[in-house]
Amino acid sequence: MNLVLKSWGAYVRATKRWPIIATIVPFIPVVALWSVVANSGMFPRAFFPAPVDVARTFFALMYKGILPDYLQDSLIRLLTGAAIGVVLGIPLGLLIGSSKWAHRACWPILLFFQAIGDIAWLPILLIWFGFGLTTMTFVIVYTVLFPIVLNTVLGVESVHRDLARAAQSLGASRMRVLWEVTLPGALPNIITGLRNGLGYGWRALIAVEIIVGTSGIGFMMFDARRAGSTVEIILGMIVLGILWYIVDAWILAPIERATGQRWGLVTSS
């Protein structure tokens, strides 16, 4: 019992020191189980590969440069779409959030188009734009846009009315209020929207690459299916998970926490 407590204490201290340990440790039993099943001979290895097979393929594809290229393609597509989504979404959200008229006019339309999932646009997009970058970018922008707009609106509405009034009584014009009060007040929500948007966008991107892609992680996975290479498919899935984890847990979540907590916007209202 004592030994258990002691090693638990050591684990907690170690994760404090190196947080990555807390991320990796839970996967040890998962990978172990996977390994046991793969090696049990229950399924043929070509049908259900083991972790070592995937690792070997990973290094092979890294060495050949295919994986880095595809990864780069996917990330650039995601970032382009996200950038356009931010540039369109934040001003739109600010407008809808701060104008009663804009809200009345746009909100139902927004909800209508949000209901049409990103992938549901593909058939018509393929006819209009064909199998290419335009179609992919459209879908990513579309996916990223809604969480950003909706969260920005929420953020604007969450800014206490007295804050805008205080700024006006100190001489701020409407534009100045927007810049000095509305935008910073809505920022934690905007970042939450961006975080969600990128998450959805990432998933949508893979789906689109599977259908229209000529490169990228999604394409790699679907191409592997044609060749019957389960190893590459599973490798693709793992890369997706790890990559997103890195982006979300190490970049987006800390930014979200930093803005909200520093200003006390998360704990108090």
Partner 1 sequence: MKTLSLKNLQKTYFDPYAGSQVTAVHDVSLDVEQGEFVSVVGPSGCGKTTILNMIAGFIPYSGGEILLDGIAVNGPGPDRGVVFQSFALFPWKTVLDNVSFGPKIRGVPKAERDRIAREYLELAGLSHAADRYPNELSGGMQQRVGVVRALANNPAVLLMDEPFASVDAQTRMTLQEELTRIWQQRKPTVIFITHDVPEAVFLANRVVVLSKGRVLDQIKVDLPRPRVWDDLMQDETFKRLSSQVLQMVRSA
Q: Is 100 in the site for partner 1 (CB under 8 A)?
A: no
Half-sphere exposure of 209 (CA within 13 A, CB side): 26
Tell me which of 65, 169, 226, 227 binds partner 1, using CB under 8 A: 169
Binding of partner 1 at residue 186 (CB under 8 A)?
A: no
- Cα of first residue to Cα of last residue in the chain, in angstroms, is 45
Measured CA angle at 163 (ends 162, 169), to 5 deg = 85
Query: Closest CB to partner 1 among 50 and 178?
Result: 178
258 belongs to the binding site for partner 1 (CB under 8 A): no
Task: Establish if 180 lies at the interface with partner 1 (CB under 8 A).
Answer: yes
Among 163, 207, 237, 243, binds partner 1 (CB under 8 A): 163
Of 71-79, 107-115, 184-192, 221-229, the segment contacting partner 1 by CB under 8 A is: 184-192
Q: In this complex, which beta carbon is closest to partner 1, that of residue 26 or of residue 171?
A: 171
Whichever of 183 and 237 has its CB closer to partner 1, that residue is 183
- Please report whether residue 165 would count as binding partner 1 according to CB under 8 A: yes
64 binds partner 1 (CB under 8 A): no
Nearer to partner 1, 80 or 168 (CB): 168
- Please list the alpha-helical segments (H only) found in 171-229: 174-177, 183-212, 217-227
Query: Which range binds partner 1 by CB under 8 A, 43-51, 139-147, 181-189, 223-231?
Result: 181-189
Do 216 and 81 form a contact (C-beta atoms < 8 A)? no
Q: Which is nearer to partner 1, 6 or 160 (CB)?
A: 160
Q: Are residues 182 and 152 in contact, defined by beta-carbon separation less than 8 angstroms?
A: no
Candidate list 110, 167, 210, 235; residue touching partner 1; CB under 8 A = 167
154 is a site residue for partner 1 (CB under 8 A): no
* Distance (Å) of CA 121 to CA 9, 113, 129: 52, 10, 11
155 near partner 1 (CB under 8 A): no
- Torsion (CA) 45, 51, 56, 61 in degrees, nearest 10: 100
**Span interacting with partner 1, options 26-34, 80-88, 128-136, 261-269, rule CB under 8 A:** 261-269
Grouping H, G, I as helix, E, B as strand and the rest as coil, residue 175 is: helix
For residue 195, which of 242, 148, 137, 131 has the smallest C-alpha distance?
Answer: 148
Q: Helix axis angle, 66-98 relative to 51-64, nearest 10°?
A: 90
| Interface with partner 1 (CB under 8 A) | 160, 162-163, 165-172, 176, 180-181, 184-185, 187, 262-265, 267-268
